[in-house]
Structure 1
Amino acid sequence: MFTKLQPKENIQKYIDGLQLIGSLSRLSSESSIPYLYYRIAERLFCSSFKAKDFSRSDISIDAKKDNIGIGLKTFLAGNNKSFQKIAEFNKEQSNYNPLKLKDKIIQISELRNKRIEFTKRATEIENSIYHCVVREQNKFKIIEEKLDSINIDRIKNIKENSGSIKFDDGINEYSFLISKSTLTKKFQTSSYLFEIEIDILEDPLRDLHNFFKTKLFEKSLIKTETIYLPLYGRDKHVFEKSGLNQWNADGRKRDPNEVYIPIPIKIHKYFPNFFPPRDQQFNLKLPNDKNLLSKVCQDGSKALMSYSNRDLGQWILRDVLKLEEGKILTYKMLEELGIDSVRIDKYGNNDYEINFAKSGSYEEFITDLENNNT
């Protein structure tokens, strides 16, 4: 579905990388089943296939290649029918908990589908798949299958067990884990694209030590910084006349797409040189790989805007959130999508990248900063 259509040299690079990482399994495990940390699997996949890495963006995919979105998984084969996490709905519990069993599953499914559609709009993908590295004794198996929305009209076989609710839509089987507010999907792993034999080194520490002592390496470090910004104001409220609703402010006539992302004073306190000076333009790369000329502006440099005051709003409000002109954005709308923040990565002095982040990301970021500084 994806991997077999890639250039042979890229496939071989990926296989070589998996064999290398798998061979080092005894750095962390004594098992004959090779170990693969999911973050390494994500980096290796994106590097091998020259895919865009979304693994830190808290959306429904982890990578993008051309117009295909890819959800990346790595897990044990088990009995070849493994339920794996595909979404989490902690913040939405108050909405679905009071509902009856079927209504609860329908609402959870609707939330899942909204996030998939949001991801499609934000990254401009047309199709999505799962790419899984399944771990077995001395081997990895690669499987791929469609990343489907849930067909709500065909939901059936709803059964509540101890701690979970199972159901299917005629295509996929799902299980909702009540205590963790987590939706899982059954992956069939008996058929696969190809398998990779893994020779696990007996003493990888020794082998690494010998290798690095006999090779010369040049360190090439790219200095980057990362911050998180809220898409809301105080008390988790998207104000009706500022921020992402700036178009609705009083005074002069405004473009219906005029918005800004708030930059709280704490960001300037901890990262005084993260952004260029006020009104100085810089490049802001979007998840769809397009670039916006952007700036910080307003008193205290409290606003992140596109240089043309309509471009950022066109992207967030119209292209991604699909809000009609004149409709007020609320925090509840963001909450339903599981996002309320953005992550800004800085590369060099003038290049930045923006990605959506899960609900609570800004607050967690600030809490960590304040704890570290005390």
Structure 2
Amino acid sequence: MFLKNQPKENIQEYYNLLKIVGGLSNLFSDNNIPYLYYRAAENIFCKAFEANNLSRGDSSADASKNSMGIGLKTFLNSNGNTLQKIAEFNKDRNDYHDLIKNPEDFIRYISLLRNKRLDSTKVIHSIDNLVYHCVAREADRFLIFEEEMNFINIDQINNIKPKPNSISFNDKIHEYNFNISKSTLFKRFNTNNTVELKVDILKDPYEVLRKIFEEKNLDFIKDHKPEYEFVILPLFSTRSGKVADGSGLNQWNARGRKRDINEVYIPVPAVIHKIYPTFFPPNEKGISFNLHLPNGNVLSASMCQDSFFKINGKDVNKGKGLMSNPNKELGKWILRDILKIPEGTVVTYEMLVEIGIDSVEVRKIDSKNYEIDFKKVNSYYDFVDSLNE
């Protein structure tokens, strides 16, 4: 487990932060059960334990530290025995729709998808072990406990019970339930061996916060630090909605010159350059930047393929894609490490959907450093829609 192996001072800091945030519950409700927004729980955990926050990406883990991935859950304690969501499979509906008629085949398929996602999370972030860290909430306290985040033991699946809108099953380790209409997999969590943390909820948190800000003469605007600028890029062609056979992730399969079997690039649609003209550097010889991967490795990268835009009255070659130098390094990471496809196999959009990703988020730290992480299916279109709004 994670918590018991952390320094005492970090554990105490974690408990203190949880108490503070729980004490502000009357900002949101008048219930005697402390409120804990899941994003706050993630940020508190990462701050207290100096862990990597993975929640912005599409990962089965919300945080990582020292090769351990942690799935963070917060929920109301329901008699110490509650089903909680652990995965969604909305984009896989077309693939499994016909299997629902046969519950055994259907559950096996869903279990395979779940295991693939866990495996891709471990590879992407260089994780050896996965655990759940849970904060259950009940009257005036938090209950903290942990358990392993296991792969579903497909060979031991039994007790499959179909109902009109769900199918329950277990694998002799955990109990699961798949909600058909929501395409969501749930797992039963048992609040055993918990650490109890008493929470004193402030009667008037508004007045307490007012006094703090008045005493410190805090300037909200001056002290605000904006987050890093970011864009989301598709791993597929936005024209066809598919992965092209001879470009993008299949650039190695393009006609013409001889290419390395791992040669790829990530498409950068024109709309990204138009709205963020200075986000990426120009596609010019000698201009490169550091691309930081989720696993801690750093690649040299640059823009590729000519694509000209008028910026400040001048034609600037911004490029149609993002590639590594040498270009095979990015392909080794995506094609072999993440997708785990053999050399010479053409990537399809269905392969991306199978592990729940079809986009990447690129964050600009400064002109020489960018970070990249995978995003769930449809993230690119959601991003573009938000820009249009």
- Please confirm whether the aligned pair reaches a TM-score higher than 0.5, indicating the same fold: yes
Contact 1:223 1:347 in 2 (8 A): no
Q: Give how far 1:17 is off.
A: 0.5
Q: Does 1:157 align with 2:162?
A: no
Residue 54 of structure 1 aligns with which residue?
A: 54
Q: 2:142 is paired with a residue of what secondary structure?
A: strand
Residue 359 of structure 1 aligns with which residue?
A: 377
Q: 1:134 is paired with a residue of what secondary structure?
A: strand
Residue 182 of structure 1 aligns with which residue?
A: 184
Aligned mates of 2:276, 2:82 — CA distance in 1? 44
1:271-282 aligned at under 5 Å gives the runs: 271-279=276-284, 280-282=287-289
Q: 2:152 is paired with a residue of what secondary structure?
A: coil
Query: Which shifted more, 28-37 or 286-295?
Result: 286-295
Aligned mates of 1:133, 1:360 — CA distance in 2? 30
Instruction: Evaluate the alpha carbon distance shift between residue 223 and residue 350 of structure 1 in structure 2; reply closer, same or farther with a 3 A threshold.
Output: farther
Q: Give how far 1:220 is off.
A: 5.6
Residue 243 of structure 2 aligns with which residue?
A: 238
Q: Does 1:317 align with 2:335?
A: yes
Q: Give how far 1:150 is off.
A: 0.5
Q: 2:69 is paired with a residue of what secondary structure?
A: strand
- Matched to 1:226, the amino acid is F
Residue 8 of structure 1 aligns with which residue?
A: 8
Residue 325 of structure 2 aligns with which residue?
A: 307
Q: Give how far 1:191 is off.
A: 2.4
Q: 1:97 is paired with a residue of what secondary structure?
A: helix
TM-score in terms of structure 2 length: 0.93
Q: Give how far 1:161 is off.
A: 2.2
Aligned mates of 1:159, 1:310 — CA distance in 2? 47
Aligned mates of 2:164, 2:244 — CA distance in 1? 42
Contact 1:344 1:354 in 2 (8 A): yes
Residue 75 of structure 2 aligns with which residue?
A: 75
Residue 110 of structure 2 aligns with which residue?
A: 108
Q: Deviations over 1:185-222 (max 9, x none)?
A: 00001321x12110000000011001110014572615
Contact 1:87 1:182 in 2 (8 A): yes
- Matched to 1:25, the amino acid is S
Q: Give how far 1:253 is off.
A: 1.2
1:194-273 aligned at under 5 Å gives the runs: 194-217=195-218, 219=223, 221-233=225-237, 234-273=239-278
Contact 1:22 1:199 in 2 (8 A): yes
Aligned mates of 1:133, 1:294 — CA distance in 2? 40
Q: 1:235 is paired with a residue of what secondary structure?
A: coil
Residue 312 of structure 2 aligns with which residue?
A: none
Aligned mates of 1:263, 1:26 — CA distance in 2? 45
Aligned mates of 1:222, 1:305 — CA distance in 2? 28
- Matched to 2:228, the amino acid is T
Q: Does 1:32 align with 2:42?
A: no
Residue 297 of structure 1 aligns with which residue?
A: 304
TM-score in terms of structure 1 length: 0.97
Q: Give how far 1:59 is off.
A: 1.4
Contact 2:283 2:306 in 1 (8 A): no
Contact 2:229 2:363 in 1 (8 A): yes
Q: Give how far 1:164 is off.
A: 1.3
Q: Which runs of 4+ in 1 moved over 3 A?
A: none
Q: 2:223 is paired with a residue of what secondary structure?
A: coil
Q: Report how many residues are paired.
A: 370
Aligned mates of 2:192, 2:7 — CA distance in 1? 26
Q: Does 1:172 align with 2:177?
A: no
Aligned mates of 1:13, 1:354 — CA distance in 2? 30
Aligned mates of 1:62, 1:282 — CA distance in 2? 27
- Matched to 1:94, the amino acid is N
- Matched to 2:245, the amino acid is E
- Matched to 1:50, the amino acid is E
Q: Give how far 1:335 is off.
A: 0.9
Q: Give how far 1:226 is off.
A: 1.4
- Matched to 1:204, the amino acid is P
Q: 2:240 is paired with a residue of what secondary structure?
A: helix
Residue 314 of structure 2 aligns with which residue?
A: none
Aligned mates of 1:186, 1:148 — CA distance in 2? 13
Which consecutive residues of structure 1, in runs of 5 or more, have no partner in the other structure? none
Residue 93 of structure 2 aligns with which residue?
A: 93
Q: Does 1:129 align with 2:124?
A: no
Residue 42 of structure 2 aligns with which residue?
A: 42
Aligned mates of 1:216, 1:207 — CA distance in 2? 14
Aligned mates of 2:227, 2:72 — CA distance in 1? 27
Aligned mates of 1:277, 1:223 — CA distance in 2? 23
- Matched to 1:333, the amino acid is M
Contact 1:109 1:152 in 2 (8 A): yes
Aligned mates of 1:128, 1:235 — CA distance in 2? 37
